[in-house]
């Protein structure tokens, strides 16, 4: 895969957390609020739990540092 920003070659890899929380994405200035947290707003639904880690397949560009991933985010 080539980077959509600079055209450089991208490497496939995994974005991961230690598994204590799920991966979330929320827009700048958006407050999740208690209702949002309870309902799962912002959770990246296609991230998966593997060996107590939350993982998301992604591609990184070594030239410009961009990370590209296919995400499906829970909306409220």
For 70, half-sphere exposure in the C-beta direction (CA atoms, 13 angstrom radius) is: 4
67 is an interface residue for Zn ion by CB under 5 A: no
Interface residue with Zn ion among 37, 64, 67, 76 (CB under 5 A) is 64
Per DSSP, the three-state class of 47 is coil
Residues 9-48: x where in contact with Zn ion by CB under 5 A, - otherwise, as a string? ----------------------------------------
**Min. distance of Cβ 72 from Zn ion in angstroms?**
23
Does position 59 interact with Zn ion (CB under 5 A)? The reply is no
50 binds Zn ion (CB under 5 A): no
Which letter, b or e, does each residue of 39-76 get, where b requires 16 or more Cβ atoms within 10 Å of its Cβ?
A: eebbbbeebeeeeeebbbebbbbeeeeeeebeeebeee
């Amino acid at each position: 895969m080539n980077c959509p920003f600079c055209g450089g070659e991208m490497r496939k890899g995994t974005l991961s957390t230690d598994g204590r929380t799920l991966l979330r994405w929320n827009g700048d200035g958006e407050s999740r609020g208690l209702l949002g947290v309870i309902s799962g707003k912002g959770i990246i639904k296609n991230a998966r739990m593997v060996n107590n880690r939350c993982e998301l397949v992604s591609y990184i560009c070594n030239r410009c540092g961009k990370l590209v991933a296919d995400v499906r985010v829970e909306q409220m």
